[in-house]
Amino acid sequence: MDKTWKVVLVFIGIFAAGLVVGGLVTLRVVKSLAPPRMGSPEQFGPQLIKRFTTKLELTPDQQEKIKPIITQGAEELRQMRRTAWINSQAVIDRMEAEIAAQLTADQKVKFDQMLAEQRERMKRFLEERNRRLKDSRPTGDDAPPPH
């Protein structure tokens, strides 16, 4: 009877892990399908400078003073996103290790295969997102005005 509960708990843990990872991937995919927005890390600074210059009719002197402020803020946001990603990955890694410790040898093989497939899907997703971001970066006439 005691062993039955352990097996049930392990399956619940695996199911929960699948839900978490699947939810995260779904959120990433949905976000990647949306058109680039002000919050895109690579576009935040240049878009904000362009918007302020246009809407506030900034002088070249004001642009020079504001640009480093925006650049610094954009870099801080990039670092925060990177830290959050690293922390999230550490939690996922720990969770996977704890789940794996509860599995039989046969279950562990299946679990490792599930994780490998998930990582491959994530790798393809990130490569596609990076390609799309690279293709959508402003160039030429779309670039922010010179300071």
Residue 128 lies in a domain: yes
Residue 135 lies in a domain: yes
Confidence of residue 100 (pLDDT cuts 50, 70, 90): very high
Q: How far, CA to CA in Å, does 105 sit from each of 1, 66, 102, 109, 111?
A: 21, 59, 10, 6, 10
Give yes or no for a contact between 108 and 100, defined as CB atoms under 8 angstroms apart: yes
Residue 147 lies in a domain: no
Torsion, CA 72, CA 73, CA 74, CA 79, rounded to 10 = 90
First to last CA, the chain: 73
Residue 18 lies in a domain: yes
Is pTM, for the whole model, over 0.85? Answer: no
Residue 70 lies in a domain: yes
Number of domains in the chain: 1
Residue 132 lies in a domain: yes
Give yes or no for a contact between 102 and 6, defined as CB atoms under 8 angstroms apart: yes
pLDDT tens, position by position, 17-70:
887 887 777 777 666 655 444 445 567 788 888 888 999 998 999 999 999 998
71 pLDDT higher than 60: yes
- Residue 87 belongs to domain spanning: 2-142
143 pLDDT higher than 80: no
Residue 81 lies in a domain: yes
In the numeric block, the tokens 């990955």 are attached to: 89
pLDDT for the residue numbered 61: 93
What's the mean pLDDT in 133-141? 64
pLDDT for the residue numbered 1: 56
146 pLDDT higher than 60: no
Give yes or no for a contact between 60 and 147, defined as CB atoms under 8 angstroms apart: yes
Give the separation between CA 25 and CA 92, rounded to whole angstroms. 13
pLDDT for the residue numbered 108: 92
Give the separation between CA 33 and CA 96, rounded to whole angstroms. 28
